[in-house]
């Protein structure tokens, strides 16, 4: 059968809202037209896609499969439109990359800057996400590539190692942690913290494991970058958890004590990942080749 993009857009809207009425509104269609289009899809495919309930609809197994495929198709259409529109502004291609907090702030900037210098016809759309969210977005076709902690990836994802991301505790140079080299995170629960803003992926990662350990974080200040956090720590506001690269860089100019966190969640292998490197668009393949070369 021939698929109409309007039908697919409508079906995704219905699936997301759980209602034909709300889906029709999102797709800017009349309810009667939307209902007829859903029935037409079911007739053409020969399967039921939704179960109609008193309050909305729920997807059948076939409906869930169609929803996933339709999302990929609509994403590819949007990417096609974006790439074609970019020709008018002189940019010939773009790559959508998702990265966790450490990757975005510490590991990727220099590598991506070099790539952009070497490839003036390619633009990058880089977005910060938690590693588990990156997996979901790539699986759903919402991004080309991911920079994530390997532990969050499913087995079928392709990946290659980019580096290690060890989280460290930073404390004032002169304080109770002076002279110590390692610590268990559960032992710092009664201290004031300086942290990242709640929206960042790393802040959510730390908070999740603190909750699991029963550690209640008393955050005195939240800032958006590691240098500012370390300056607060050096001034005696509290302690903080930051990536090792940022901790060691800041310790060169600030009075800080660095402690390795013994918990396993504080040691992460960072990888570049995709559903399939071979199936990526050419611009994304170029970026993959560049990142392979600069990976440590």
Weakest mean pLDDT among 74-78, 111-115, 189-193, 206-210 = 74-78
Q: How far apart are CA 267 and CA 260, in angstroms?
A: 10
Q: What is the mean pLDDT of residues 43-56?
A: 91
pLDDT-based confidence at residue 151 (cuts at 50, 70, 90): confident
Q: 71 or 114: whose pLDDT is higher?
A: 114
What is the reported pLDDT for 86?
58
**Phi, psi (degrees; rounded to nearest 5) at 203:** -60, -40
With bands split at pLDDT 50, 70 and 90, how would you rate the model's confidence at 3?
confident
Contact assessment for residue 100 and residue 203, using Cβ atoms and an 8 Å cutoff = no
With cut-offs at 50, 70 and 90, classify the pLDDT of residue 175: confident
pLDDT score at 11: 93
Q: Please, how many CA atoms are within 13 Å of residue 19, restricted to the half-sphere of its CB?
A: 10
What is the average pLDDT score of the chain? 89
pTM of the model: 0.59
Q: How does pLDDT run across 24-38, given as a tens digit for each residue?
A: 998 899 999 999 999
Q: Which residues contact 59 (CB under 8 A, 6 or more apart)?
A: 15, 49, 50, 51, 67
- Reported confidence tier of residue 149, pLDDT bands at 50, 70, 90: confident
- pLDDT tens-digit map of 247-265: 999 999 999 999 999 998 8
The full DSSP string for the chain is -PPPHHHHHHHHHHHHHT-HHHHHHHTT--HHHHHHHHHHHHHHHTS--EEEETTEEEE-HHHHHHHHHHHHHHHHHHHHHHHHHHHHTT--EEEEEEE-HHIIIIISHHHHHHHHHH-TTEEEEEEE--HHHHHHHHHTTS-SEEEEEGGGS-TTSEEEEEEEEEEEEEEESSSTTTT--EE-GGGGTTSEEEEE-TTSHHHHHHHHHHHHHT---EEEEEESSHHHHHHHHHTTS-BEEEEHHHHHHHHTTS-EEEEEE-SGGGEEEEEEEES-STTS-HHHHHHHHHHHHH--
Domains and CATH numbers, the chain: 5-84 (1.10.10.10), 90-163+269-294 (3.40.190.10), 165-266 (3.40.190.10)
Give the pLDDT of residue 94: 82
Place of tokens 């956090």: 229
| Per-residue pLDDT tens digits for 268-288 | 889 999 999 998 888 899 999
Question: For residue range 64-104, what is the model confidence (pLDDT) as tens digits?
Answer: 999 989 988 887 787 677 666 655 555 567 889 999 888 88
Sorted by sequence, the CB contacts under 8 Å of residue 215 that are 6+ apart come out as: 185, 186, 188, 189
Work out the percent of the chain whose per-residue pLDDT is above 90.
Answer: 55
**What is the structure's pLDDT at 2?**
75
- Residue 240: both structure tokens together: 């903080």
**Per-residue pLDDT at 232:** 96
Q: How confident is the model at residue 190 (pLDDT cuts 50, 70, 90)?
A: confident
The stretch 135-150 carries a mean pLDDT of 87
pLDDT at residue 137 tops 60: yes
Higher pLDDT, 147 or 101: 147
């Amino acid at each position: 059968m021939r698929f109409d993009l309007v039908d697919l857009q409508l079906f995704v809207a219905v699936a997301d809202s759980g209602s034909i009425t709300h889906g029709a509104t999102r797709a800017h269609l009349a309810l009667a037209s939307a209902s007829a289009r859903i029935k037409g899809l079911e007739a053409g495919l020969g399967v039921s896609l939704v179960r109609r309930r008193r309050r909305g609809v729920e997807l059948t197994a076939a409906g869930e499969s169609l929803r996933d495929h339709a999302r990929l198709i609509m994403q590819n259409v949007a990417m096609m439109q974006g790439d074609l529109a970019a020709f008018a502004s002189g940019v010939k291609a773009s790559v959508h990359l998702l990265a966790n907090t450490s990757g975005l702030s510490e590991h990727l900037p220099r590598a991506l800057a070099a790539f952009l210098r070497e490839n003036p016809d390619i633009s990058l759309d880089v977005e910060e996400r938690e590693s588990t969210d990156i997996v979901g977005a790539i699986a759903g076709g919402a991004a080309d590539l991911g920079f994530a902690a390997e532990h969050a990836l499913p087995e079928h994802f392709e990946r290659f190692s980019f580096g290690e991301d060890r989280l460290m505790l930073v404390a004032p140079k002169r304080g109770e942690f002076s002279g110590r080299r390692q610590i268990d995170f559960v032992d710092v629960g009664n201290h004031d913290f300086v942290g990242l803003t709640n929206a960042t992926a790393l802040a959510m990662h730390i908070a999740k494991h603190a909750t699991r350990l029963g550690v209640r974080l008393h955050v005195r200040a939240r800032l958006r970058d590691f240098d500012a956090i370390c300056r607060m720590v050096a001034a005696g506001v509290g302690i903080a958890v930051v990536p090792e690269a940022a901790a060691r860089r800041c310790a060169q100019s600030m009075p800080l004590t660095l402690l390795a966190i013994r918990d396993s969640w504080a040691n992460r292998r960072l990888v570049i990942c995709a559903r399939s490197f071979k199936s990526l668009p050419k611009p994304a393949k170029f970026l993959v080749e560049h990142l392979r070369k600069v990976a440590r």
